[in-house]
Structure 1
Amino acid sequence: MPYLVPPHIPPGRLADSVQPALPVAEDLLLRPWRYGDAPAVLAAFADPAIQRWHLRRADTEDEARDWIDQWRNAWYCETGAHRAVVRPGDTADGAEELLGRISLRSLTPAIGQAECAYWMLPAARGRGIAPRALSTLTRWSFDEIGFERLELHHSVLNEASCRVAAKAGFALEGTRRRGHLHADGWHDMHVHARIRGDGAPG
């Protein structure tokens, strides 16, 4: 049965290209995940604040590497675009600091929609890093890939995530009642969104 409209984003837009690193500014970079990031991922998911809003945890570096493998492969399956948020190293050995994760997931290229998600390690919170990273990912998603709508969902109890969404220009559109099951039960979920053509945040 033929579609009445062509795919908004043609197949292969992601899979046929190299995963880019996206500079946020001189001090921040969104880059593809590396298997060497596994210890930092393991540490992140040991953090109680990150565990509170997720359904899974990593107990070993092997499990963390499996996640990284899934994040990397999602690009070529065109189901996700996952990035490590890092502070590039300025030392002789090029050491860098991993600060968090930001992603596009639940990609539906045919209709130009995706969902944003993020977490930050404790040392990176409260410093404006998450909204800057989200704004950069959003611009790239609209300008380079061609998405029309990006959504962002979080528990109504997650006030920090709500602030990040607002600072990055994601308007609060409503609440999904009992929208997500967390370890402590069902949570209502805020639904935020940005569409192509929305004004710049703030």
Structure 2
Amino acid sequence: MPPVLGTALGPGRGHREGTPQTHPRFHRGPRPRRPLNGAGQPRQPTRPSPSRTDATAVAKAFEDPDIQRWHLKRADSEAEARQWITRWQQGWQDEAAAHWAIVDGGSGDSEGGGVLGRVSLQSVILAGGQAEIAYWTAPWARGRGVCSRAVTAVSDWALGEAGFHRLELGHSTLNDASCRVAVRTGFVLEGVRRNALLHADGWHDMHLHARVRA
């Protein structure tokens, strides 16, 4: 049965050649690097997906109690972190998710080997031009606006060049830091999803924020 509507985003370069494209694409080809320049701030660029050599920093970041609390997992070894990174990289190939490492644009001598965090587009729905944005910041990089600049850069790319129509951002109503990032980066609070996600201490209500293509 043919669909009534076409897809909001066309497939990427891994799909059939010669297929007409009327919308910007979620790329399988070259993955964008987003510069995260902020006024008076050092340059922190992103690069597509943490590499397997970043496993040490990822595992160290997930030792942090706050990251474990809100992301509901921990890495028990660098080998496990490498497995996560492999899955993150595969997300690009499958056009199911997009991940960027936030990295130190300076000398690279910061704790964690220059990795400051991660920002990602998940639960990608090409037909509807939708995705969820998620992020974490390593403990050694907090308080510098790193996360907000990364979320802004990736959101601007997704709603602009990539052609997404809507991005959603969800977090526990108890996660004040994540809520501040959402508001600071233009994600409007649309409501509360009651008892929406199970955490270690029980079911949490979740804020739903969103940005839509202008």
1:20 aligned residue: 32
Say if 1:90 and 1:96, in contact at 8 Å, map to a contact too: no
Residue 85 of structure 2 corresponds to residue 68 of structure 1:
yes
Using the alignment, how far apart are the partners of 2:202 and 2:157 within structure 1? Answer: 35
Residue 87 of structure 2 corresponds to residue 87 of structure 1:
no
Q: Which structure 2 residues correspond to residues 138-153 of structure 1 after superposition, within 5 A?
A: 138-153=155-170
- Please give the secondary structure, in 1, of the residue aligned with 2:127: helix
Residue 4 of structure 2 corresponds to residue 4 of structure 1:
yes
Using the alignment, how far apart are the partners of 1:172 and 1:16 within structure 2? Answer: 31
- Please give the secondary structure, in 1, of the residue aligned with 2:2: coil
Using the alignment, how far apart are the partners of 1:96 and 1:21 within structure 2? Answer: 19
- Please give the secondary structure, in 1, of the residue aligned with 2:161: helix
1:109 aligned residue: 126
- Please give the secondary structure, in 1, of the residue aligned with 2:151: helix
Cα RMSD, aligned residues only? 1.7
Q: What TM-score do you get using the length of structure 2 for normalisation?
A: 0.87
Using the alignment, how far apart are the partners of 1:70 and 1:77 within structure 2? Answer: 10
Say if 1:50 and 1:119, in contact at 8 Å, map to a contact too: yes
- Please give the secondary structure, in 1, of the residue aligned with 2:99: strand
Q: What TM-score do you get using the length of structure 1 for normalisation?
A: 0.92
1:57 aligned residue: 74
Using the alignment, how far apart are the partners of 1:177 and 1:109 within structure 2? Answer: 27
Letter in 2 for 1:30: T
- Please give the secondary structure, in 2, of the residue aligned with 1:99: strand
Aligned with 2:194 (options 170, 177, 182): 177
1:125 aligned residue: 142
Residue 43 of structure 2 corresponds to residue 31 of structure 1:
no
What is the CA distance between 1:123 and its match in structure 2? 2.0
What is the CA distance between 1:96 and its match in structure 2? 5.8
Say if 1:14 and 1:76, in contact at 8 Å, map to a contact too: no
Q: Percent of pairs identical after alignment?
A: 52
2:153 aligned residue: 136
Using the alignment, how far apart are the partners of 2:106 and 2:143 within structure 1? Answer: 21
Using the alignment, how far apart are the partners of 1:14 and 1:121 within structure 2? Answer: 27
Using the alignment, how far apart are the partners of 2:151 and 2:100 within structure 1? Answer: 11
- Please give the secondary structure, in 1, of the residue aligned with 2:160: helix
Larger fraction in strand: 1
Per-residue Cα deviation, 1:31-57 (whole angstroms, up to 9, x for no partner): 122100000000011100101112221
Per-residue Cα deviation, 1:52-93 (whole angstroms, up to 9, x for no partner): 1122211011100000000001011011001111112447xx
